[in-house]
Amino acid sequence: MYALTFGGKEMIEYSNVSDPQLLQPTDAIVKITMAGICGSDLHVYHGRETGLDHGTVMGHEFTGIVEEAGRDVRKFKKGTRVLSPFTTSCGECFYCRIGLTCRCEKGNLFGWVEKGHGLHGAQSQYIRVPMADSTLLPLSNDLSERKGLLLGDVFSTGYFCADNAGIKPSSVYAVIGCGPVGLMTVIAAKHLGASTLFAIDTIPERLAMAKNFGAVPLNATLVNVKEEILNNTHGRGADGVMEVVGSSATLKLAIDLLRPGGTISSVGVHTAKHFSFSPGEAYDKNLIYKSGRCPAHYYAEKLLRTEVPQRYAIEDIITHQFSLQQGAKAYEVFDKKLDNCIKAVLMTS
Ligand SMILES: [Zn+2]
Ligand SMILES: [Zn+2]
């Protein structure tokens, strides 16, 4: 089969690799129909994450059709349309039982093979999914591939981020960063009842989309964001700030915008060694800080039981579509935000 493999820093290769095989009776092989390129793939792409084996199939966002199910797989059979969270989960361990499926004791991240161990990814024609019954979710016919793909990662992550901010109707919130996850956070925060929601970024097209989703856009290159938020909160600051970027500067901005007793909900993947604010600043703000990887299986399953994915045009963030063969180009366009790219997907067959 063909797949996009990691060839080293900024090298994505369209390669002929061996087909995945069932290794356990609980595995399934899924024929991929759509795969996403995610902001976290760029950490690998730029060589900021070390340890990934060359030749690893990239990617962790996908929808597809079950091609082959192991003999112990009960919920899925050949031909079932499925979506998948970006990690596998067993459904039985302590963490799975409390809904923290991203910390499953047996879980693995798709698209991460290190020293020969781990799972290949989804930017590929087929993928092996371990613990298929508790990892995959059925994608019903009234949901598009695009919605299914976003439920497996960025929409669930945005929803988790808004959920952690403890949204209350009359309060004032800010989302820092209007990339794919930030825009999903805007939709989720509005859905959860945020009446006043500021969306902060520097790219006009992304701010325009945030406005479409119900936020008040603030362009950080044109206005003093802190002043704007203080002016709208009787000088107190926001009740909650959702930080989705993962940089030291955005985390510092988050605490600067927050009122005492407010919540920072951070889902940006941080690589800094230390916080960009001090324990003293946290104390003085009576800070509530929530962070971490989204338990995407838990959230996707929960959202599938509602009509939330149907109700909102979450798929509007997918601005670009490429074939698998155009993978290197797709990474470049997504990485450099060429042609106002927000989110790119690959059609794999
Ligand atoms: Zn992702
Ligand atoms: Zn588990």
Domains of the chain, first to last: 2-153+295-347 (3.90.180.10), 158-291 (3.40.50.720)
Q: How far is the CA of 108 from the centre of ligand 2 (A)?
A: 10
Q: How far is the CA of 18 from the centre of ligand 1 (A)?
A: 24
Q: Which residues of the chain fall below pLDDT 70?
A: none
Residues with C-beta atoms within 5 A of ion ligand 2: 89-90, 93, 96, 104
For residue 287, the model assigns a pLDDT of 98
Q: How far is the CA of 121 from the centre of ligand 1 (A)?
A: 11
Reduce the DSSP state of residue 118 to 3 states and report it: strand
| Proximal ligand: closest to the CA of 93 | 2
Q: How far is the CA of 135 from the centre of ligand 2 (A)?
A: 10
For residue 270, the model assigns a pLDDT of 87
Q: How far is the CA of 184 from the centre of ligand 1 (A)?
A: 13
Q: Rounded to two decimals, what is the model's pTM? A: 0.97
Comparing CA positions, the residue from 344, 335, 321 lying closest to residue 43 is 335
For residue 50, the model assigns a pLDDT of 74
Give 197's strand partners: 173
Q: How far is the CA of 236 from the centre of ligand 1 (A)?
A: 35
Tokens standing for 208?
């325009």
For residue 328, the model assigns a pLDDT of 96
CA distances from 312 to 143, 168, 169, 192, 299 (A): 12, 20, 19, 13, 16
Give dist(CA 201, CA 188) in Å, integer.
Answer: 18
Q: How far is the CA of 39 from the centre of ligand 1 (A)?
A: 6
E strand residue ranges, the chain: 2-6, 12-16, 28-37, 62-69, 81-84, 112-114, 117-119, 126-129, 137-138, 172-176, 196-201, 216-219, 238-243, 258-266, 288-291, 318-323, 343-347
Q: How far is the CA of 331 from the centre of ligand 1 (A)?
A: 14
3-state class percentages of the chain: helix first, strand second, coil last, to nearest 5: 30, 25, 40
| Proximal ligand: closest to the CA of 95 | 2
Q: How far is the CA of 210 from the centre of ligand 1 (A)?
A: 20
For residue 73, the model assigns a pLDDT of 98
For residue 2, the model assigns a pLDDT of 97
Q: β-pairing, 343-347 with 318-323?
A: parallel
Tokens standing for 296?
């995407």
Give 6's strand partners: 12
For residue 234, the model assigns a pLDDT of 96
Q: β-pairing, 238-243 with 12-16?
A: unpaired
| Proximal ligand: closest to the CA of 104 | 2
| Proximal ligand: closest to the CA of 40 | 1
Sign of the CA dihedral running 245, 251, 253, 255? positive
The b-or-e profile of 183-214 (16+ CB within 10 A means b, else e) is bbbbbbbbbbebebbbbbbebeebbebbeebb
